[in-house]
Structure 1
Amino acid sequence: MLTNFHKISLFLLLFFSIPNYINSHTITENSHLENYNLTFSKVVKQTSPSVVNIYTSKLIKERRPNLFNDPFFQRFFGGGIDDLLGLPRERIQNSLGSGVIVKDGGIVVTNNHVIDGADKIKVVLSDRREFDASIVGTDKRTDLAVLRIINPPVDLPSLKLDKFNKVDVGDFVLAIGNPFGVGQTVTSGIVSALARSNVGVSDFRSFIQTDAAINPGNSGGALVSLSGILVGINTAIFSQDGGNVGIGFAIPTSMVSVVVKSILKNGKAVRGWFGAETQTITAEIADALGLEKPIGVIVNKVYKRSPANKAMIRQGDLIIGVNENSVLDSNNLKYLLATIEIGEETMLRVVRGDVEINLFITLLPPPEIPKRNTREIKPSIPPFGGATVANINPALVEELGIGFEEGVIILNVLRRSFARQVGLIPGDLIVKVNGRNINKVSDLLDIISEPSSKWIFTFKRNGKLIQRSISL
């Protein structure tokens, strides 16, 4: 039991000790602040010379209406004789964006939408040197393009493109680009989210979200970590008026590196073929399967002679992981598989029954089997005249970014043709004509070569069967 003397002694000890404790910790905290460098200048100096401005131009031809369609002859033939005759008028359309030098020899990666349709491309370095550039290859499905600087200088810096460069939510990042054409600009922020899939600017939806200011003109620029590592290519913003609202998106380098490597090797992006159809596990499916939470995908179909078939994946399997990555949904699985190089062995974490197993798969180039046999049917031949058709195969499925089907698909429809008049559009799958199944292009050509006064045909659109009939 403490006496009054002991209580007074303890009080005095605490009274005189607390100021010393506070002072010592204040000194330590201040020393930490002095050692902490509140500037990004070092990483900017390290990375910004590898980020370039891209200027493009393309020739636009516009046909002017003839004089009879112009209000009051364009106020007494205003606009010149070319306008009166309805002759084409040409104009130059200019656009701008950003890019990143990623390899020696002047290899630049940017967004496909920055250079799409360009007749001339100019690359401007951070030190204002200007060079013409050519397109090595593009990939619309990921919105990426690879350029090569023509006659590049030997002193070009570059940022290493590594598929294993990763960031976490909360990491500081810098966005470097050419917003609004004002010149190279650096903005800072954090990684707000990963694997964003509802952006809609590419087929492979797994973006880095950041609040670093990204504005028009930043497209194709670099998103770098504070270690000076390239972690993404800036590609889009979420905005109602075109300005920055703190929601920007970048393509992760795990995707960029694979696409660039494929384009440099093949002149185009060639992705590995998986060969199975999957469905996202929703809360309802998870409950029906007795799962604790809705994560992963369920395999609905496995195609013969596909990599998935060779890896012993079965219908009903639950795929919950690819290597060390968890599979969130079908879009996420699609993205993760697209970041794997052809020929690279990959581990899939699969739940079969109540047991989790590891299966190993090696993705292969999508085969051209059966051959496409692409044909354009003459516009005057009913009922598919003016349609370009082809046999569906894995290579075409990958090229178009569609689900795998077997049969004949419409690739294009000409104006003022039978096919257009009966309402056919690209992407329709021809299933049956006059009671006969259509399994390949030759089946369709044989049927329409036989004269008929009535045509009844069935096609599939967005998973739904539609039947049409016409009488001649």
Structure 2
Amino acid sequence: MRRAPWMIAMLAATGVACFQPETSPDPEVSSPAAEEASVKMEPHPDEAAGAAGQDLQVSSAEMAMRLELPDVVEKVMPSVVGINTERSVRQMVSPFGGSPFGGHPFFGPRGMPQQPQERVQEGLGSGVIVDAEGIVLTNNHVIEGADTIRLTLNDGREFEAEVVGTDPQSDIAVLRFKEAPDDLKAIEFGDSDALRLAESVVAIGNPFGLSSTVTLGIVSAKGRGNMGIVDYEDFIQTDAAINPGNSGGALVNLRGELVGINTAILSKSGGYQGVGFAIPSKMARGIMESLVETGKVSRGWLGVMIQELTPQLASALEIPESARGVVVSDVQPESPAARAGLQRGDLITSIAGRSVTSPGELKNRVGMAQPGTEVEIAYLREGQAMKGRLELGSLEDAAGVASGPGGAPGFAPSPVEGLSLQALNDQLRAQLRVPPAVRQGVAVTEVEPGSEASRLRLRPGDVILEVNRRPVSSPADVSQLWQASRGQVLVLLYRQGATIFMTLPAN
């Protein structure tokens, strides 16, 4: 029996297909930010020996917050709105498409040209009032392409809304009531960075169009990235039950503060299966403020290609086993990183005083900062700790940074069976779309199937830039440095617009 593949499901609903009973766990409520007052509980006589000298500590603050949860929900519920959208969808249909005789050789000619027809597609989602003047946070995918947007308050009143701005790269959108009532209640922002694993959270939204639905769960994980949902990912993972229609709804802590915007689920069925993702409120708030003030989001730019630190890469670059960080595989000329002196092979360990352990973390730290922000960057170079200060550039400036001449032609025997190499020249540059910033290198022109080269994960179109940290400009350079290697070869490649390090076995 084949297993259904896991998939990421965005939670805006375009229709209600079915209703399924929902069950959600009733976990122990934990609120680490609350002041704790301890209550001592006497052990059972049979357990007294095993509990000698030990008291079971129970937080009365946590118990009180659990009892007060209905009051918290009642306070924040008016801040969560339902979102109904309509968009015109243009479809090509046959003029006989609705007839039982369509396409029949006698009653409807085959091959008749299709005609365009517009249909109205409805969508459902959720939003959060974050300003009593009428500002609403939601997901970009909830309102993307919508012709009309209606907001429904908890008491059933409906209002039209307009788009203030959107940021598809983070899936955030900001709306505004066209005519805001005087009694709107804005939710308070919480500190999403202060969330702890197993802390209780509440998801509020309109799953399947069922307004004002509340589910309780815990924070299952933080800092989830590389999900392939959007460009900038730093998700809070929760097991609070969320379903289609919950997109853009509120994730709140037990103090009734907004800590996340519900966005997607990981599911085999497309419905809730215990794994949901929310955009942290800190990220959402920063993007919202930028959209309200300027109508766009300006992101910081460092000017480096980066990749994850693996044990093989750490060994090849002689990075200490205890080190944690992100490997710099390339530095763009005239970028902030280049001016600060960063080089290929450096290991970035922190930026702006916060440690980074993955490419996603570094990307988010830089991307969420404003251009012009001065930050301190810490890194390792050949085992030595170094620091520098730099001013972040603008991501909009990144496209214009590139220059440099081409390379020299030439052929030579390959160091690996089944691998054909050619020095980079103008013709190959155009064919492989190699930018001028790649000044020299050796192109992989062919990889024989089933050969040793194919097992090394090399691909036609790769451009070898360095072997064992030394630049190469001809196949002879590659062969000489490769054959002189012992154990493994450290290769720097240009592949599909990025530079990456690879560790390969030597002959």
2:345 pairs with 1:316? yes
Cα distance in 1 between the residues matched to 2:138 and 2:337:
33
Larger mean Cα displacement after TM superposition, 164-173 or 218-227: 164-173
2:211 pairs with 1:183? yes
Corresponding residue for 1:229? 257
Corresponding residue for 1:54? 83
Aligned partner letter, 2:289: K
Structure 1 or 2: larger helix share?
Answer: 1
Cα distance in 1 between the residues matched to 2:178 and 2:59:
52
2:163 pairs with 1:135? yes
2:286 pairs with 1:279? no
- Aligned to 2:292, what secondary structure does the other structure show? helix
Corresponding residue for 2:294? 266
Q: CA-to-partner distance for each residue in 1:310-343, whole Å, 9 max, x for gaps?
A: 4343333211123453312112211122222333
Cα distance in 1 between the residues matched to 2:74 and 2:255:
12
- Choose between structure 1 and 2 for higher RCO, CA contacts under 8 A separated by at least 6 residues: 2
Q: CA-to-partner distance for each residue in 1:54-106, whole Å, 9 max, x for gaps?
A: 110011121213669x9953569999x9x976332221100100111123421
Superposition pairs of residues 8-19 of structure 1, within 5 angstroms: none
Corresponding residue for 2:29? none
Structure with higher Rg: it is: 1
Retained in 1: the 8 A contact 2:154–2:212?
yes
From 476, 495, 498, the counterpart of 1:463:
495
Larger mean Cα displacement after TM superposition, 256-265 or 50-59: 256-265
Q: CA-to-partner distance for each residue in 1:201-251, whole Å, 9 max, x for gaps?
A: 111122110011111111111111112221111100111112211100011
Q: What stretches of structure 2 of length at least 5 have no aligned partner?
A: 1-44, 405-426, 438-459, 464-493, 498-507
Corresponding residue for 1:360? 389
Q: What stretches of structure 1 of length at least 5 have no aligned partner?
A: 1-14, 370-391, 395-404, 408-429, 441-457, 466-472
Corresponding residue for 1:326? 355
Retained in 2: the 8 A contact 1:282–1:295?
no
2:400 pairs with 1:393? yes
Give the CA deviation at 1:35: 5.6
- Aligned to 1:238, what secondary structure does the other structure show? strand
Retained in 1: the 8 A contact 2:226–2:360?
no
Corresponding residue for 1:111? 139
* Closer, same or farther: CA 187–150 of 1 in aligned 2, 3 Å: same
- Aligned to 2:102, what secondary structure does the other structure show? helix
Cα distance in 2 between the residues matched to 1:136 and 1:78:
52
Corresponding residue for 1:241? 269
Aligned partner letter, 2:301: W
- Aligned to 1:340, what secondary structure does the other structure show? coil
Retained in 1: the 8 A contact 2:461–2:495?
no
Cα distance in 2 between the residues matched to 1:84 and 1:207:
50
Identity %: 40
Cα distance in 1 between the residues matched to 2:313 and 2:59:
55
Give the CA deviation at 1:42: 2.4
Retained in 2: the 8 A contact 1:67–1:86?
no
Aligned partner letter, 1:110: T
From 343, 351, 370, the counterpart of 1:341:
370
Cα distance in 1 between the residues matched to 2:249 and 2:280:
12
Retained in 1: the 8 A contact 2:152–2:159?
yes
Corresponding residue for 1:254? 282
Cα distance in 2 between the residues matched to 1:33 and 1:253:
23
* Closer, same or farther: CA 231–359 of 1 in aligned 2, 3 Å: farther
Larger mean Cα displacement after TM superposition, 355-364 or 141-150: 355-364
Aligned partner letter, 1:227: R
Give the CA deviation at 1:178: 0.6
* Closer, same or farther: CA 58–304 of 1 in aligned 2, 3 Å: same
Aligned residues: 372
Corresponding residue for 1:386? none
From 45, 57, 60, the counterpart of 2:74:
45
Retained in 2: the 8 A contact 1:162–1:257?
no
Cα distance in 1 between the residues matched to 2:62 and 2:396:
60
Corresponding residue for 2:173? 145
Structure 1 vs Structure 2 CA RMSD: 4.0
Q: CA-to-partner distance for each residue in 1:252-303, whole Å, 9 max, x for gaps?
A: 1232122212222232222111112222111211233242246311222222
Cα distance in 1 between the residues matched to 2:204 and 2:351:
31
- Aligned to 2:394, what secondary structure does the other structure show? coil
Cα distance in 1 between the residues matched to 2:276 and 2:433:
51
* Closer, same or farther: CA 438–42 of 1 in aligned 2, 3 Å: closer
Q: CA-to-partner distance for each residue in 1:373-432, whole Å, 9 max, x for gaps?
A: xxxxxxxxxxxxxxxxxxx436xxxxxxxxxx769xxxxxxxxxxxxxxxxxxxxxx974
Corresponding residue for 1:155? 183
From 92, 95, 108, the counterpart of 2:120:
92
Aligned partner letter, 1:344: T
Cα distance in 2 between the residues matched to 1:129 and 1:327:
46
Give the CA deviation at 1:145: 1.0
- Aligned to 2:231, what secondary structure does the other structure show? coil
- Aligned to 2:142, what secondary structure does the other structure show? helix
Corresponding residue for 2:334? 305
Cα distance in 2 between the residues matched to 1:437 and 1:341:
30
Retained in 1: the 8 A contact 2:432–2:461?
no
2:176 pairs with 1:169? no
Retained in 2: the 8 A contact 1:285–1:294?
no
Aligned partner letter, 1:87: Q
Give the CA deviation at 1:164: 6.3
* Closer, same or farther: CA 220–77 of 1 in aligned 2, 3 Å: farther
